[in-house]
Amino acid sequence: MAATAMVSGACSVRRVDRSSIPAAAAAPSLSSSSSSSSSWRLLGRSNLHVAAARRRLACRASAAPSPSVLHSSEAKCSENAWSLIWSPQSSSQILGGDGHGEPDYGPRVVKMKSGNKYRSCSRLLPLSARQSVPGIWAPGATFEFRQSTKTGLKDFLHISDFDKDTIMKILHHAAEVKALLKSGDRSFQPFKGKTMSMIFTKPSMRTRVSFETGFSLLGGHAIYLGPDDIQMGKREETRDVARVLSRYNDIIMARVFAHQDILDLAKYASVPVVNGLTDYNHPCQIMADALTIIEHIGKLEGLKIVYVGDGNNIVHSWLLLASIIPLHFVCACPEGFEPDKDTVERARSTGVSKIEIIHDPAVAVKGADVVYSDVWASMGQKEEAAYRKEKFQGFQINEALMELAGPKAYFMHCLPAERGVEVTDGVIEAPNSIVFPQAENRMHAQNAIMLHLFGL
């Protein structure tokens, strides 16, 4: 007769009583309305904040279940608990969870329950978990644990897929992990033993290096797949690519041209898919932007963000963010280069933010907290470069335009920049330019996004 046992907080859970952490050691709040710029700047340097971040991250890493268990597109639980049924594995040798390649005939998950639904899966239970709770591994034994963070959605495709609280929690987590990495501490290894495939049909230095470095610093291994390695929709159907890579990897990141490609990847992949950029939107960039703004201004909510240039994927992502976090977002662009009308109307219809699409940059930038720019001709539009350069005359961000914005306005650019075209050299090199902290924060924001998708 099968033995049954219910165990809370398995996988060697070590819960930390947050009330025991001294107030002085706690990381500053990321409340979009109450955070101070000084506290955010302190976060990167203070040993107290680093120590507090280290304790919280260690708690998350130990308390959360193995993310691979949750790799189901249907894994959207309404309560913060999962029940698993295990069966013994004895037909073949399996590498043990101790990382030394020892033979292991341990139990595997055969069913996963969320609420009243069971889903089949086949994952090896971590060795440390079996050692911590002996005597319950009879066939059919039931095992329960609780997540420290609900994963919610499987993928990160659009910022607006998530609510305000979730976005702010991810940003808070990004700040914690950044503080730890900046301190030189490399003990936090939540991605150890995990692999990520990085699909690039659209090349990028920042996207590749930030994802690959970030995943490596947290213990994982990233695999680059360039245009010569993978041709989705041409040499192989996207749905086949998604299914194959899901069997090799724990997560997939893709930077592609067509937005439908990322949607198809997510539909058919059984592991999380991260949107590294499409022609429609660029959510990882906007998360990095939000983190950078909070670090320098102290808040995000209520700010006036002015984008000057082409109504492209960056603008769409800001509009999607403005649909969940209150902002005053202005896009100043030439006529005929406005952002997607449906996306504009969607952002306006929520009533969350004030949205303006205008054609005079001098009017747009007045009172701006942030002035933002991007190239006038994106990748795949270079044949239009001369035409666009003519149409965008008067939309260059230069010293005169920044003076109209005011002395407190910051300049941002997602890079690469064509200096002397959409922005002058002087603006990029000015003290109020934060383009390089912005570029660095791609890595930290993306790390936090992946931690969230893994449920860590």
CA gap 84, 6 in Å, rounded: 10
CA gap 11, 8 in Å, rounded: 10
The reply to whether 414 belongs to the active site is yes
Q: For residue 46, what are the contacts with CB-CB under 8 A and spacing of at least 6?
A: 179
Q: Containing H/E element for 399?
A: helix 399-405
Q: How many CB atoms lie under 10 A from the CB of residue 349?
A: 10
77, 284, 333, 414: the catalytic one is: 414
Tokens of 405: 């914005």
CA gap 230, 122 in Å, rounded: 28
Whether the link from the prior residue into 28 is cis, omega within 30° of 0, is: no
CA gap 121, 396 in Å, rounded: 54
* Strands (DSSP E) found in 168-289: 195-200, 221-225, 251-255, 273-277
Do the beta carbons of residue 200 and residue 225 sit within 8 Å?
Answer: yes
CA gap 190, 285 in Å, rounded: 23
Rounded to 5°, angle at Cα 367 from 365 and 368: 60
Distance from chain centroid for Cα 178? 13
Separation of first and last alpha carbons in the chain: 36
Q: Torsions phi, psi of 109, nearest 5?
A: -70, 130
Q: How many CB atoms lie under 10 A from the CB of residue 394?
A: 13
Instruction: Specify the DSSP class assigned to residue 385.
Output: H
Secondary structure (DSSP) of 342-378: HHHHHHHHHTSSEEEEES-HHHHTTT-SEEEE--SS-
Q: For residue 317, what are the contacts with CB-CB under 8 A and spacing of at least 6?
A: 159, 281, 282, 283, 285, 286
Catalytic (active-site) positions: 414
